[in-house]
Chain A
């Protein structure tokens, strides 16, 4: 079994293009094929581990803003878009350890209770990379 750390720095890439096949879809498939994957969200991707503001009653600060819609109404059609918060919960449901970088999370001033339960807050420094067979930037 390969033990690898998947690092995601941007969880919002091509919503209309990917619809479902976004970076977290890839993470789930890699985990299914190869074994135990740990996931670290850092940089802008820390927002992927936040519950929608309506789920906790809102709040103040940059991290209190709305999450992107998971559907796009375009003309008479509706296009499904990735729901990154649901995807992060799926990663946890698959048994993966999901963490966010402590400093990057602090930088966006997230209100208490906004982080999806089960997501760890860690120091995302490279010292941890030695614990893994591979470190993959996805």
Chain B
């Protein structure tokens, strides 16, 4: 599968990837579009990072779709604002990670993504096996869950 080869790091059975220490891990379980969870998440990431904190993000379920590469750079055109610029969530998160790459790390659950057809993420996102989740929790001082699968 493409997802196994395009992730920044690939875990293999028996070889656990290194997980950066973080001050807070956001475990994002709820689906995008259903609530303002994603908006809240991005605000929390920015606020934590601006305060000098280290942030980890782990997406499960439909939240893995936020960073799928097939979203491209922009949303479909707004027929009521033909010249408007509306970035995709993949582009928004890619920009965030480009600006805060040292302090913000974004991982996506491989199982959840593949179960929902997310075969390729943007390059800054690491695809991790479900059993690596506990490593991310242990590497964080606090873990906050957002939504449910």
Cross-chain contact A20 with B80 (CB below 8 angstroms): yes
List chain A residues, Cβ under 8 A from B78: 20-21
- Asked if B35 is at the interface (CB within 8 A of a chain A CB), the reply is yes
B13-21, B37-45, B120-128, B129-137 - interface stretch? B37-45
Cross-chain contact A17 with B89 (CB below 8 angstroms): yes
- Asked if A76 is at the interface (CB within 8 A of a chain B CB), the reply is yes
Known: A72-B43, A74-B96. A17 touches B80 (CB 8 A): no
Size band of the interface chain A makes with B = 20 to 34
Number of cross-chain contacts by CB at 8 Å:
64
- Asked if A128 is at the interface (CB within 8 A of a chain B CB), the reply is no
Size band of the interface chain B makes with A = 20 to 34
- Distance A20 CA – B33 CA, assembled complex (angstroms): 12
Q: Which residue of A lies closest to B33 (CB)?
A: A14
Cross-chain contact B84 with A20 (CB below 8 angstroms): yes
List chain A residues, Cβ under 8 A from B96: 74-75
Cross-chain contact B34 with A14 (CB below 8 angstroms): yes
